[in-house]
Chains A and B, each alone.
Chain A
Amino acid sequence: MRCLTNSGNITTDVDSLRSEIRDKSVRVIDVRRESDYKQDHISSAVNLPLAHLLSDDSPERVLKIFNSLGIDDETRVVVYDDTFGALASRVAWTLEYLGHSDVTLLETTYSNWKSLGLENDSQSPEIQSKEHSMNLQSDILATSDYLESAKDRDDVILIDNRERLNFLEQHIPGAISLPYRTLATTDKILRSKEDMRRLLENRGISGNSEIITYCGSVGTLSGLAYYALKSADLPNAKLYVRSFKEWKNLEKPTEKQEDASYWDLSAE
């Protein structure tokens, strides 16, 4: 069964991706490190290590990168990683930000794919460069200035996707804590839609609010949360891509949980 492109799916299941690869109707992006990619990867996948993208993620440079990976406006793209979908999400979001509409995440990780004994090899495919247009989707991006003005609005929900201890230690005032681990199941990078909706609804994340996600530094964990929200039919989401690292560097206000030595309860 093949998923229709552009159908609003957030993830692509393993079976669909395999048939799309056979059909040569998809561009698969592996965002792991180059050395890992060279060892083996999903057959036909190209490599875009996240670090390479992040070294300069200005739209002009990123556009060139995607062109060189043979992606134009019509190309169906599936992204995967071995980091529970967080790195893949950051790349997918970047593509979306440029104006690309048909990008999804593989529903599972590369380790899982491999442990199922599914097709992988070590060959890098021949790629023909393509031309992608630039149509920046600024409504899915939150900057620090935007966040500062928006965070106190009643119709804005701010979500911190770092681990609970980090949140307790310091967070952006008004944020609610939804650790990235909450979003996944044992074998999928995102919970089922029904599960996700229930979880988010319990936390008051529903309806027409604008939702901004952030994490520690480069928008990976919060990138995954961005897609989690979309998977639960909450499309009005923005990623604060520079996240808490920038917020702190700008010396903007933060909050903490007072009067408790919670760190000493951790066994780490």
Chain B
Amino acid sequence: MTISEFFYPKISKSKKFITIHKEKFFVLTVSSLKQSKPNSVKPKINWARLEEADNFAKTVKLFRQGKYDADSFRRFRLQHGAYGTRMTSDYAMVRIKIPAGELYPHQLEKISQLSEQFSIGSAHLSTRESIQLHWIVLEDVSEIFRGLSEVGLTSREACGNSVRNVMCSPLSGVCSDEKFDTTPYALATARFFLRNPMSQNLPRKFKFTFTCCEKHGMARIVDVGLIPQIREIDGTSQRGFKIFLGGGLGNKSFVGHQLEEFTPEDDLLYTSIAVIRIFDRLGDRKNLARNRMRYLVNEMGWEKFQNLVLKERAVVRATQSVITRLNVDHTPNEIKRPIRISDDSAITIPDGYARWLKTNTIKQKQSDYRSAFITLEAGDITANQLNALASLIRDFSSEGKARSGFVQNIALRFVHEDDLPRLYSKLLESGLAKSGALTMTAPIGCSGTTSCNLALTNSHRLAKEIQRKFLELKLDEDDDLKDSSIKISGCPNSCGQHGIATIGFFGGGARVGKDMYPNYQMSLGGRSDGDTMLGQVCDRIPAKRVIPVLLKIIELFKEHKKSDDTLKSWIHRIISNSEDSEIKSINDIKKALGPLVIPPTKEEDPDFYLDYGSDTSYHTKTGKGECAA
């Protein structure tokens, strides 16, 4: 008997009593065919509202009939999570919010189905833990909403000037360095602001990220970033946060500032409301290109902004007519190892297991358990893989759900150590066992020219090419490269988060005479941990030279490294002017790369002038951006 037969018995007990030709039969009816999977853990929060699907369908019709002007329609569409698509108004991208990154098996199955019905048969994991369906006919968007509502998901306020998906570290709850699990606070924050009148028409989008610890980071590059803290007062311990404000990556990026030493958990909501109120009041509503809160903080100066927030918080606290609290659900998750059927036969450990175990899994603070990360090429996953993943969660995760992560990946947590070889062999079967998930060989690539109106280059495909090459060279097994990262954006707007990468790239065009070629600006030394800083510009690298350049940098590092150096620490020393070897500045690296970045003539190397994934000559072409709509 297979596991699935055990869990999903073939014949349901419901019977329909019918009469045919005066004989009585018990007939198994099709209504009993419903594929209920009793083993599935179900989410506690329903984010969806079905009526929004009908409303959206109606509004699209009015828009097409010319009864709704284009600007109002665009705002409406973005507020509902449907983004424009490259060079066409016929298609949209639907960004499904995954609050705190929590993914339940039946939700993955629904997204799989929707991707086959209305999209391109794959889905795309974003860097903000959302899941995107691309190339959806605008008139079908309401059908996506309808499908999502069946599994409690929404795309509401996933785009537009609203509170975007509230993120949480994929390791929250299992990280051995965390003070406490912030997941319930992330969910409560998402719940408080979703459809809240306060955040329907902000000057610009607004992002929260909760994390687990300093090391796993990401708290300083977002409007509001939160790291859990515990304070001892008179012998009792109090929960709270380090709150960072005014960070963010974009055309111009900033690192966030810490509001105060310690923000008690009771002040979390008041602080959040205070910050949003200030942004709403003072944020720039005219200059759309520079109106994220980080610009406000920068222009006003941190101290002034900090004082405003503290004052505003006192006002918020004092003027609540009823006590407003976050609805934080502290019910612990049930951790129950899925029942295994008597398949005791020792499984042969497949090739590559040790490599995968080393580069894709992390020991949890709970003994005997690990979190296994699945790396997807630039975040893309097929409909079949989504279904396979749903089964794997049911069969292997003792919490019965998964998490989308910070780098377009998925974490399967609470996998019992004994089950790891079997999980690996199942992942192999579905093409989800690529190694190097937690290493430099899993680059980020935004969607680039595959669908985005603003993209100048195919950053998406470049990320895939780098991953393939690096895995072929087994660079994931190199401990010196493990804590470094590569992140690629297709334009300066930083959806690929290049600013916080050890080696980051953003796309643009360059030309030799009349001929254009795709080009990337490379920066070095960015990081998002406790020492968060933005990368420093090194040089412009033609798209088709990015891989040779990366390999050359690794070669230089190997030549000059000190014995306990990693690539990250070596580059960090260089950009902070504390390296003493032959390569001691960014300029030295630039010089060493020089020969690689000289453009050949079109006759010498026609391929140089083509972007990845294209066989027609390269030209930069963009449509209207919608971020600022």
Contacts and interface: CB of A to CB of B under 8 A. Distances in A.
Given A107-B30, A116-B33, A202 B119 contact: no
Contacts of A198: 57
Nearest to B385: A267
B500 interface: no
Nearest to B458: A261
Interface stretch (B138-146, B177-185, B325-333, B586-594): B138-146
B449 interface: yes
A129 interface: no
Contacts of A177: 137
Nearest to B18: A1
B450 A259 contact: no
B451 interface: yes
A268 B382 contact: yes
Interface residues of A, number: 44
Contact of B613 (A176, A204, A261): A261
A117 to B, nearest CB: 5
Interface of B: 10-11, 16, 18, 20-21, 27-30, 33-35, 57, 60-61, 85-88, 113, 116-122, 124, 134-135, 137, 139-140, 142-143, 376-377, 380-382, 385, 447-451, 458, 460-461, 464, 611-614, 621
B50 to A, nearest CB: 13
A163 B121 contact: yes
B460 A266 contact: no
Interface string A25-49: 0000000000000000000000000
Given A13-B30, A18-B27, 20 more contacts: A14-B29, A19-B20, A22-B20, A116-B28, A163-B120, A164-B121, A165-B135, A179-B117, A186-B113, A187-B30, A202-B60, A202-B61, A202-B140, A260-B85, A260-B86, A261-B612, A261-B613, A263-B613, A264-B461, A265-B451
Quick one: which of B29, B85, B135, B377 has the most chain A CB within 10 A? B135
A267 B125 CA distance: 11
A165 B115 CA distance: 12
Contacts of A193: none
Contacts of A126: none
B57 A202 contact: yes
Contact of A118 (B18, B28, B118): B28
Contact of A260 (B142, B377, B450): B450
B27 A265 contact: no
A202 B33 contact: no
Contacts of A19: 20
Quick one: which of A118, A176, A260 has the most chain B CB within 10 A? A260
Contacts of B451: 260, 262, 265
Contacts of B85: 260
Contacts of B10: 115-117
A264 B117 contact: no
Sorted from nearest, which 6 A-B pairs have the closest CB atoms? A267-B380, A265-B450, A267-B122, A264-B461, A261-B613, A181-B116
B119 A116 contact: no
A262 B461 CA distance: 10
A65 interface: no
Contacts of B118: 164, 179, 182
Interface string A1-27: 110000000000111001100110000
Quick one: which of A15, A108, A198, A264 has the most chain B CB within 10 A? A264
30 contacts: A14-B29, A14-B30, A15-B29, A19-B20, A22-B20, A108-B30, A112-B33, A117-B10, A163-B121, A181-B116, A187-B34, A202-B57, A202-B139, A203-B139, A258-B87, A260-B86, A260-B451, A261-B448, A261-B458, A261-B613, A262-B134, A264-B448, A264-B458, A264-B461, A265-B120, A265-B134, A265-B447, A266-B380, A267-B381, A267-B385
B87 A262 contact: no
Quick one: which of A2, A117, A266 has the most chain B CB within 10 A? A266
Contacts of B21: 23
A218 interface: no
Contacts of B34: 187
B59 to A, nearest CB: 12
A13 B31 CA distance: 11
Given A108-B30, A202-B60, A204-B139, A266 B120 contact: yes
B331 to A, nearest CB: 31
Nearest to A268: B382
A264 B124 CA distance: 11
Given A2-B20, A203-B139, A265-B122, A260 B30 contact: no
A257 interface: yes
Contacts of B122: 265-268
A107 B28 CA distance: 15
Contact of A15 (B27, B117, B380, B460): B27
A256 B437 CA distance: 36
Interface string A167-178: 010000000110
Contacts of B87: 257-260
Contacts of A268: 121-122, 382
A266 to B, nearest CB: 5
Given A115-B10, A181-B117, A259 B29 contact: no
A160 to B, nearest CB: 12
A9 to B, nearest CB: 15
Nearest to B86: A260
A199 interface: yes
Contacts of B18: 1, 15
Nearest to B464: A264
B450 A262 contact: yes
A115 to B, nearest CB: 6
A76 B585 CA distance: 83
B60 to A, nearest CB: 7
Contacts of A112: 33
A200 B158 CA distance: 27
A164 B135 contact: yes
A168 B382 CA distance: 18
B120 A262 contact: yes
A182 B450 contact: no
A202 B55 CA distance: 12
Contacts of A265: 120, 122, 124, 134-135, 380, 447, 450-451, 460
A101 B601 CA distance: 68
Contacts of A257: 87-88
Contact of B612 (A18, A23, A202, A264): A264
A23 B5 CA distance: 33
Contacts of A204: 139
A264 B613 contact: yes
Contacts of A181: 113, 116-117
A262 B135 contact: yes
Contacts of A258: 87
A23 B612 CA distance: 62
B469 to A, nearest CB: 16
A260 B139 contact: no
